[in-house]
Amino acid sequence: MTVLILTAEQDVTADLVVAELHGRGTPLVRFDPADLPGEASMSAEYVSGDFRGHLSAGGRLLSMDGLRSIWVRRPGASAAHAPNPSAWLTAESAHAFFGMLYSTTARWMNHPQAAAQARLKPWQLRVAHQSGFAVPPTLVTTFPRIARLFAAEHRDIVVKSITGPPPGDPPVSLPTTRVGAGADFESVAAGPTLLQRYISKRADIRLTCVGHELFAARKAATPDQVDGRYGETGHRWEPVEVPERITRAVYGYLRVARLAYGAFDFAEDADGTWWFLECNQGGQFGFVELETRQPIAEAVAGWLASPPPV
Amino acid sequence: MTVLILTAEQDVTADLVVAELHGRGTPLVRFDPADLPGEASMSAEYVSGDFRGHLSAGGRLLSMDGLRSIWVRRPGASAAHAPNPSAWLTAESAHAFFGMLYSTTARWMNHPQAAAQARLKPWQLRVAHQSGFAVPPTLVTTFPRIARLFAAEHRDIVVKSITGPPPGDPPVSLPTTRVGAGADFESVAAGPTLLQRYISKRADIRLTCVGHELFAARKAATPDQVDGRYGETGHRWEPVEVPERITRAVYGYLRVARLAYGAFDFAEDADGTWWFLECNQGGQFGFVELETRQPIAEAVAGWLASPPPV
């Protein structure tokens, strides 16, 4: 049984998992949907109640029958490398290719439809509440008046983008930013704005969940640091134990979200409470593994190589 | 409890359902996400484990607490009517608005994530097989050789687009087209191509399923007609009874696809067999209702207005 890894050519996180799978002797195909059509070919037959599918790439022919699992890492857009690319060819190729993959019995890490829903941050907050996480009070609004009331009530707040950084070249970074209660909120009418109570944190927590395996890492924060992703603090990621309450909440969250993999970000406050900030269903783990030596790539490889639980 | 209808301003199918809901006295809000931000405003608060959301549109304030159901008809793109539209504003607004709707307990017809998956035609064929429908032998391929073998085996075949007509202005119609066995299939290498055995049909069948209510209509075909959507034949849609086997298959299909509404197209052959062609999760029903007087809009209104089954 073969593992299919969907990702672009340059992907060191995928390289780590590929090395683990090679070590186990697990057959794998690494493939970028951008190469179909062109470098790669596919064929799917739906005849007499039966389904047979094949992907031909890099001189190998992969039968859909023999597919154990599919890891959606960082795939390019379908047909992006085709000799005559177009939006229509991308749509046709994506429907043909993913329609074929959806017709198999392979396990997904993560299924693209579950991943699409899991990206919606307001929905994440709701599921996080219901799963038992502590979540900082959050507002998503286009009403300047409600933004002002929220700022007055919670005093110390941050503003974040809802989807991530705006697209563009060169890329723009959009760090989480502190906002004073007296700020001018008129411009929220121009676009829904996410405001959140600022958590004064003593550490950032990154918890990576692979199937049922949890890997938590902690990095001490410098006072008044807002966004741990930007700037050098001199602190390093260290492994940390996962509180029982958090373990239960993580399992609950991933079950509702139908995800096999999730990278959770928390802020640890002075009382030791882990505040849920977000769950990135496609979050990187290479930087954590590098510093903590937690065997996350091995866990991903293990999940991908395993038969489905009975 | 209020029904929320997401659609653009010009939508006669929505008009039919709105009239039915008015007749029942069911409160409703008709809203186009293109109007947010700009004409409309929203606010969603995630505080202390609780969720509260509001949509303000057309002088009305709709609480997310009071939402019974959401009908996704033909919504515009988020923020499309904003004073300063951009791809980023569309993404931010869509995540804010749909994230808020996903946080409610409303029933969906149909949930956007289920709808996205249900659009993939190759996956439709697989689910149709598993649900017990008769499905014409179908091939999706980029291999000219396999296309030639398929054509030689099935002799009389048709070619269809996988996703629908290519985008463009003026719109291009792309009817299903018959292909002879001796055709040149070299160009399938340029893009995945869907080939299907031609069903010589004596009638087109359109079956609309609303919750658990089925409405089937039949229109006699003229000999050798390929695509019932194009051209005038002089025949009309007439109500027809649903075979027991088809009813079971429809329920199975919609359960697997997690859809509350589906419009199924079949070709009826000389033996009376209904061959599954496709299920359009957002298919029109106005043209059928007009000719058959089947109360489909009433059924949609009834489903939207009903409390969830216990």
Number of domains comprising chain B: 3
Residues B78/B55, Cβ–Cβ less than 8 Å: no
Of the CA atoms within 13 Å of residue B51, those in its CB half-sphere come to 22
What is the reported pLDDT for B234? Answer: 81
Write down the pLDDT at residue A52.
96
Of B164, B197, B230, the last residue of a domain is B197
Question: Does position B183 have pLDDT exceeding 80, yes or no?
Answer: yes
Nearest by CB to residue B92, choosing from A98, A113, A192, is A192
What are the pLDDT digits (tens) for B56-79? 998 999 999 999 999 999 999 999
Q: CA-to-CA distance for B285 and A293, rounded, in angstroms?
A: 58
Interchain CB contact of B41 with A (< 8 Å): yes
Q: Are residues A13 and A103 in the same domain?
A: yes
Q: Is residue B99 part of a domain?
A: yes
DSSP bridge pairs for B276: B266
Contact B205, B266 (CB under 8 A): yes
A224 shares its domain with A265: yes
CATH of the domain at A216: 3.30.470.20
The answer to whether A3 touches A27, Cβ cutoff 8 Å, is: yes
pLDDT, greater one: A142 or B161: A142
Please check the confidence at residue A73 and state whether its pLDDT lies above 60. yes
Tokens of residue B23, six digits: 């007749």
Given pLDDT bands bounded at 50, 70 and 90, which one contains residue B52? Answer: very high
| Interatomic CA distance for residues A106 and A1, integer angstroms | 10
Classified as helix, coil or strand, B268 is: strand
- Number of Cβ pairs < 8 A linking chain A and chain B: 202
Q: How much is the pLDDT for A176?
A: 76
Mutate to test the interface with B, among A35, A36, A39, A45 (most CBs of B within 10 A): A45
Torsion of CA A105, A109, A112, A117, to 10 degrees: 120
Token pair 């470098």 in the structure block, residue: A39
Q: Among residues 243-282 of chain A, which lie with CB inside 8 Å of chain B?
A: none
Same domain as A245, residue A165: no
Residues in A 167-196 with any Cβ partner in B closer than 8 A: 167, 189-192, 194
Please state which of the ranges A16-25, A98-107, B151-160 shows the lowest mean pLDDT.
B151-160
Would residue A128 count as lying in a domain? Answer: no
Tokens of B144: 């000219």
Given a cut of 70, is residue B166 above it in pLDDT?
no
Is B167 in the same domain as B206?
A: no
Which residues in chain A have their CB less than 8 angstroms from residue B163's CB? Answer: 88, 91-92, 95
Say whether both B224 and B300 belong to one domain: yes
Question: Does residue A63 form part of some domain?
Answer: yes
Alpha-carbon radius of gyration of chain A: 22
Model pTM score: 0.93
C-alpha span between B165 and B158 (Å, rounded): 16
Residues B69 and B153 in one domain: no
Give the chain A residue whose CA is nearest to the CA of B52: A139
Q: Given an 8 Å threshold on Cβ–Cβ distance, is A46 in contact with B122?
A: yes
- Give per-residue pLDDT as tens, B86-143: 999 999 999 999 999 999 999 999 999 999 999 999 999 999 999 999 999 999 999 9
pLDDT of res. B292: 97
How far apart, in whole angstroms, are the C-alpha atoms of residue B17 and residue B298? Answer: 7
Is residue B104 within 8 Å of residue B110, measured between CB atoms? no
Q: Residue for token digits 């219901």?
A: A130
pLDDT digits (tens, 9 = 90+) for A208-257: 999 999 999 999 988 766 665 556 668 899 999 999 999 999 999 999 99
Residue B36: both structure tokens together: 């947010």
Residues β-bridged to residue B216: B207
Note whether A267 and A204 are within 8 A (CB).
yes
Compute the radius of gyration of chain B from its Cα atoms: 22
CB B43, CB A197: distance < 8 Å? no
B102: closest chain A residue by CA = A123
B208 and B165, same structural domain? no
Which strands sit side by side in the sheet containing A177-179, from one edge to the other?
A177-179, A157-160, A193-197, A138-141, B41-47, B50-57, B60-63
Kind and range of the H or E run holding B302:
helix B296-305
Tell me whether residue B164 is in a domain: yes
Cα distances (Å, whole numbers) of residue A46 to B106, B125, B189, B287: 36, 7, 19, 31
Render B250-261 in DSSP notation, one character per residue. HHHHHHHHT-SE
The confidence score (pLDDT) of residue A81 equals 96
- Taking alpha carbons only, the member of A280, A268, A254 closest to residue A202 is A268
Q: Do B162 and A41 touch (CB under 8 A)?
A: no
Check A44 against B139: CB less than 8 A apart.
yes
**Residue A227 confidence (pLDDT):** 65
Do A126 and B51 count as a contact with CB atoms less than 8 A apart?
A: yes
Q: Are residues A224 and A292 in the same domain?
A: yes
Report pLDDT for B171.
62
pLDDT value of residue A181: 67
Q: Model confidence over A165-210: pLDDT tens digits?
A: 666 666 666 667 888 767 889 999 999 999 999 999 999 999 999 9
Residue numbers of the domain that contains B14: 2-109
Q: Which helix (H) or strand (E) holds A94?
A: helix A87-102
pLDDT computed for residue A234 by the predictor: 81
- Establish if A83 belongs to a structural domain: yes
- Residue corresponding to tokens 């177009």: A86
pLDDT digit string (tens) for B225-270?
666 555 666 889 999 999 999 999 999 999 999 999 999 999 999 9
Of A87, A98, A138, nearest to B120 by CB-CB distance is: A98
Residue-level pLDDT at A179: 85
Are B297 and B209 in a shared domain? yes
| Within a domain: A191 | yes
